[in-house]
Amino acid sequence: MPRGSGRGPRRQRGFTYLGLLALVVLIGVLLAAAGQVASTNAQREREQELLYVGHEYRAAIGRYLKANGRYPTELKDLLSPGTGPLPVRYIRHLYRDPMTNAVDWRLVPADGGGFIGVASSSTRTPLKQAGFDPVDAGFEKAQAYGDWEFTFLPTAHRPVAPGAAPGVTGVTNP
């Protein structure tokens, strides 16, 4: 076979290599985009869990206050059975903070001692900026998850959230 001017199968192998290299780059870009979407979805799920857990702590603090006439002084107080004819726990177990994956809640102090609520210790910026329940209306201005304070204030002292239905108690953030 005569050696020609260099046109032939040897030159086509270079095009195949470039095509394969372009395909690998394209797959890498698509995987990076898919990873970003998965990361965003995971953060949204952790936000929903934070809202659920925060509401659980808020309700437990309210039950503790009603049963004992004072706010709890530490999270473990919510685990101990109350006094009375039917002792009940105010919360089943101490929940971890979904944003930090630890039980490292920041306690929101009460004026007369103890704490009126909990907040995440995370400084990450929330994805959710609107569409909160009326009791969480103050969360719309949050710069970090730590600004989401799940506080319990007695109904008599709670202001009504702007635009809330009558009878709905409102903003629990000071």
Would the pLDDT of 32 be above 60? yes
Predicted local distance difference test score (pLDDT) of residue 20: 85
Q: Point out which residues pair with 149 in neighbouring strands.
A: 119
Predicted local distance difference test score (pLDDT) of residue 82: 60
57 three-class SS: helix
Mean pLDDT across 56-73: 92
Q: How far apart are CA 78 and CA 94, in angstroms?
A: 8
Would the pLDDT of 8 be above 60? no
149 three-class SS: strand
* pLDDT single digits (tens) 151-164: 998 864 444 444 44
Predicted local distance difference test score (pLDDT) of residue 55: 95
* pLDDT single digits (tens) 91-135: 989 999 999 999 999 999 998 889 999 999 999 999 898 889 898
Sheet holding 149-151, edge to edge: 106-109, 115-119, 149-151
Task: Report the alpha-carbon angle 51-49-109, nearest 5.
Answer: 45
Q: How far apart are CA 16 and CA 112, in angstroms?
A: 76
Mean pLDDT of the chain: 81
Task: Report the alpha-carbon angle 136-63-93, nearest 5.
Answer: 85
Domains parsed from the chain with CATH numbers? 22-157 (3.30.700)
105 three-class SS: coil
